[in-house]
Amino acid sequence: MPSIPTKPSQLTKSGTPLVRFWGNLVDLNFRNEQGVDTGVFNYADIQVLEVEEGSVYEYPVAQLSIKVGVHERSSWGKLLSSLEPLGVADLLDLKGKRVLMVKKADFFTDRQTNEKVEFSVWRIAEVEGLAVKGPTAAAGSDSDVLLGLLQGKTAAEWAQAALQTDAGKRNSAHIYNQALISGWLAAGAVTKGADERFSVVART
């Protein structure tokens, strides 16, 4: 009988310490274990941009396993929603592409305790060779509201404020992966200062 862990040092880690990385999506398979479907993503030639604090990742490959779900609030739903601002119609179209993967914290409310529970979700932030859709990804009025909120704020401050609005909730995927900001910068609608704060360019 295996020994029962009683110390933190006896625990094993699961998942991956990766937070942000570029990688070639060489394979995407689906497996079913005990009635649960999981998407298994295999990446090669990865470029690590960020790992969890205190962690090191020196491997040239990576694998992510994400539970498949049909609800848009699920981890799978969040992943698929990140395709919209990229103009990608189907996740399977990304096989063989080089993509930027970003892990973000999200929350759901436990129905029994009414407490917020944090979990991590993966999003596809960029695809090499594809232009990210910017302001046009949101409805015109929503885009104007969200653009106005950016004045004088950092990206993090803007995201926090934007997600409190109806416009932000309707376009949360574009906020999480900063597709709107990228589009506004490319279009010259905003500028970014040395202090990381944005200024909205007056329209003429």
Output the pLDDT for position 47.
92
Residue 1 confidence (pLDDT) = 45
The span from the CA of 163 to the CA of 186, in Å, is 23
Q: Is the dihedral of CA 53, 123, 74, 107 positive or negative?
A: positive
Residues lower than pLDDT 50 in the chain: 1, 11-14, 134-140
By residue count, the chain amounts to 204
The predicted structure's pLDDT at residue 31: 92
In angstroms, the Cα distances linking 19 to 51, 104, 189 are 5, 8, 29
* pLDDT number for residue 9: 57
Please state, for a pLDDT cut of 90, what percent of the chain lies above it: 33
pTM for the whole structure: 0.58
Share of the chain above pLDDT 70, in %: 83
- If we measure between CA atoms, which residue out of 87, 92, 99, 72 comes closest to residue 169? 72
Neighbours of 86 (CB within 10 A): 21
Q: What is the rounded CA–CA span in Å between residue 26 and residue 80?
A: 18
Alpha helices in 49-165 (DSSP H): 75-81, 140-150, 155-162
What is the DSSP pairing of strand 62-67 with strand 36-51?
Answer: antiparallel
Indicate the burial class of 140 (C-beta count within 10 angstroms; 0-12, 13-18, 19 or more): exposed
Contacts 24+ apart (CB under 8 A), 192-197: 196/154, 196/155, 197/152, 197/153, 197/154
